[in-house]
Structure 1
Amino acid sequence: MENLANAFVVLANFVLIPGVAYGAQLALGALGVTLIYAVLRFSNFAHGDLMAFGTMATILGTWWLQANGIGIHPLPTALLMLPVGIAAAVALALGTDRVVYRFYRRRKAAPVVFVIVSVGVMFVYNALVRFFIGVEDQRFEDGERFIIRARDFETLTGLDEGLALRSSQVLTVVVALVAVAALFWFLQRTRTGKAMRAFSDNEDLALLSGIDPKRVVMITWVLAATLATLAGVLYGLDKSFRPFNYFQLLLPIFAAAIVGGIGKPVGAVVGGFVVAFSEVGLTYAYRRVLQYVVPEDLMPDGLAQLLSTDYKFAVSFIILVLVLLLRPTGILRGRVI
């Protein structure tokens, strides 16, 4: 029984807890992508770098607070600057829509044109982030790092393995739950949310009903930028901030949105956890788990790892291709790309 408990603790440390935290981050990112697709009807390839921009603004503000000795220990100081990061991302998104996307929307450009334009916007965002904060890894987490420390857990339980639970992981789950609940309440209960859903379902009928398309577009960008900044800051707190990492996150975020059902907010949440657990589960070396549950003479010689961690993002690509081939509408039957 003790061996099973040790095996579970190892699995929780390296698969279950990281998978939940990473899944929450992907879910927030995928929600922003699916909102843009549902309402504005194009795939926004600049979303990953919008995440990076909002996170960068939060980090710069956090460094200023830290330099002046301002904090909210045991919580990370970045929470104080999160509204500033969100405001910066919202301003950038609305400015980009006004200067770039509105031009093509008025001309009723094809969705593929918007996609191409968003790729150009992506490079501009990426250049802005690199210009202001550089290209290296940046750490901005402070406050209490652990809620449960491995050594304390070992002492308390008497097990050989210790459970470690980081503050950033718990914070990620809590913030994600609050953000998702608030978003769904907004979409289901408020007049503006219902207008957005009507506009998404049938644009012409929504216009005939007196819904203001400019307001719907503005609120959509505000929500998408807010979710992007939340996802980016939580990811940075949990790991670290590096602009190129956010560019790479675009693939698993899109995979999550499509797996769950593009255009379906619930599907984005489901897809986020499916992709996260697939990436973490397929690239973890299970030898340390197996040593507690498998007889020594049956232990594999290698690490019992299905894929190297170098192929982590390849898992997202494989999932994306399989879903597009076998079930283009995703798990919850969203729109076909």
Structure 2
Amino acid sequence: MIDLLNALVVLGNFVIVPAVSYGAQLALGALGVTLIYGILRFSNFAHGDTMAFGTMAVILTTWGLQSIGIGFGPLPTALLALPVGIAVTAALMLGTDRLVYRFYRRAKAVPVTFVIASLGVMFVMNGLVRFIIGPDDQRFADGERFLISARDFRTLTGLDEGLAIRTTQVITVVVAVIVVAALFWFLNKTRTGKSMRAFSDNEDLALLSGINPERVVVITWLIVAALATIAGTLYGLDKSFKPFTYFQLLLPIFAAAIVGGLGSPLGAIAGGFVIAFAEVTITYPLKKVLGYLLPEAWEPASLVQLLSTDYKFAVSFVILLIVLLFRPTGLFAGKSV
């Protein structure tokens, strides 16, 4: 029985807890992608670098607050800086829409034109972030590091294995739940949210009903800016900030949105956790877990790792290919790609 509990603790420490936290981050990122696809009707390849830009704004504001002695007690100061980061990112998004996307929208350009334009925006944002904050890792998490440490858990339970839960992991889940609940309330209960859903379902009918399309576009970009900044900041707090990492995150984020069903907010959340658990589980070496569960004579000599962590993003790619081949509308029957 003790060996089983130790095995469960190991799984919780290295698979379940990290996957839940990572899944919440991917879900928030995928929500931004699916809102743009569902309402503005194009795949925004600049979303990863939008997350990087928003996180950069939060980091610079955090450093400014820390320099004048302002903190948030046991919580990261970055949480105080989030509103500033969201505002700066929203201004960038609205400016980009006015300078780039609005021209193609008024010209009734085909979706692939918007995709190509978003690629250009992606490279510009990536260069801008690298120019301002640099290409290196930036750690900006402060406050209490652990909610419970592995040593405290072992002392409390008497088990050989310890469960460490970082404060940033708990903050990620709590903030994600609050943001998702607020978003669903906004989309389903407010007049503006209902107009956005109507515009997404049938643009022509929405226009005949008197819905202002430009207002819908502005509100969409504001929500996407908030989601991107929050998702990017939570990822940076949980791990670290590096501009190129956010470019790489574009693959699992799009995979999450497509697996769940593009255009389906609920599907984006489900897809985020599917991708996260798949990546973490497939790349985790199971030797220690099997060592507790199997007889000593059967204990494996190798790591029992299906894929190296270097191939983590390959898991997202394979899942994405399978979904596109066999169920292009995703788990929640969103719009086909």
Partner SS state of residue 147, structure 1: strand
Indicate yes or no: 2:135 matched with 1:160: no
Partner SS state of residue 70, structure 1: coil
2:100 maps to which residue? 100
Question: Would you say the 8 A contact 2:30–2:257 is kept in 1?
Answer: yes
Partner SS state of residue 177, structure 2: helix
Shift of 1:276: 0.3
1:114 maps to which residue? 114
TM alignment of 1:136-215, pairs within 5 A: 136-215=136-215
Q: Which runs of 5+ in 2 are unaligned?
A: none
Partner SS state of residue 3, structure 1: helix
Percent identity over the alignment is 73
Shift of 1:69: 1.5
TM alignment of 1:30-109, pairs within 5 A: 30-109=30-109
Shift of 1:298: 1.1
CA distance in 1, matches of 2:90, 2:129: 15
TM alignment of 1:213-252, pairs within 5 A: 213-252=213-252
Shift of 1:299: 1.7
Q: Given the two structures, how large is their TM-score scaled by the length of structure 2?
A: 0.99
Shift of 1:187: 0.2
Task: Provide Cα deviations, 1:269-323, integer angstroms capped at 9, x if missing partner.
Answer: 0000000000000000011111111112112221010000000000000010000
Q: Given the two structures, how large is their TM-score scaled by the length of structure 1?
A: 0.99
Partner SS state of residue 331, structure 1: coil
CA distance in 1, matches of 2:334, 2:86: 28
CA distance in 1, matches of 2:91, 2:278: 35
Shift of 1:151: 0.4
Question: Would you say the 8 A contact 2:291–2:300 is kept in 1?
Answer: no
CA distance in 1, matches of 2:289, 2:73: 35
CA distance in 2, matches of 1:297, 1:112: 58
Shift of 1:64: 1.2
2:268 maps to which residue? 268
Shift of 1:204: 0.3
Task: Provide Cα deviations, 1:207-248, integer angstroms capped at 9, x if missing partner.
Answer: 000000000000000001100000000000000000000000
One-letter amino acid matched to 2:320? L
- In the TM superposition, structure 1's runs of 4+ consecutive aligned residues that sit over 6 Å from their partners are none
One-letter amino acid matched to 2:105? R
CA distance in 1, matches of 2:68, 2:294: 54
Question: Would you say the 8 A contact 2:76–2:142 is kept in 1?
Answer: yes
CA distance in 2, matches of 1:85, 1:218: 18
**RMSD over aligned Cα atoms:** 0.5
Task: Provide Cα deviations, 1:133-174, integer angstroms capped at 9, x if missing partner.
Answer: 000000000000100011011111110001100000000000
Task: Provide Cα deviations, 1:109-129, integer angstroms capped at 9, x if missing partner.
Answer: 000000000000000000110
Indicate yes or no: 2:323 matched with 1:316: no
Shift of 1:201: 0.3
Partner SS state of residue 249, structure 2: helix
Indicate yes or no: 2:312 matched with 1:306: no
One-letter amino acid matched to 1:228? A
Shift of 1:336: 0.6
Partner SS state of residue 252, structure 1: helix
CA distance in 1, matches of 2:292, 2:46: 45
Task: Provide Cα deviations, 1:188-209, integer angstroms capped at 9, x if missing partner.
Answer: 0000000000000000000000
Shift of 1:176: 0.1
Count, aligned residues: 337
Shift of 1:65: 1.1
Shift of 1:66: 1.2
One-letter amino acid matched to 1:45? F
1:257 maps to which residue? 257
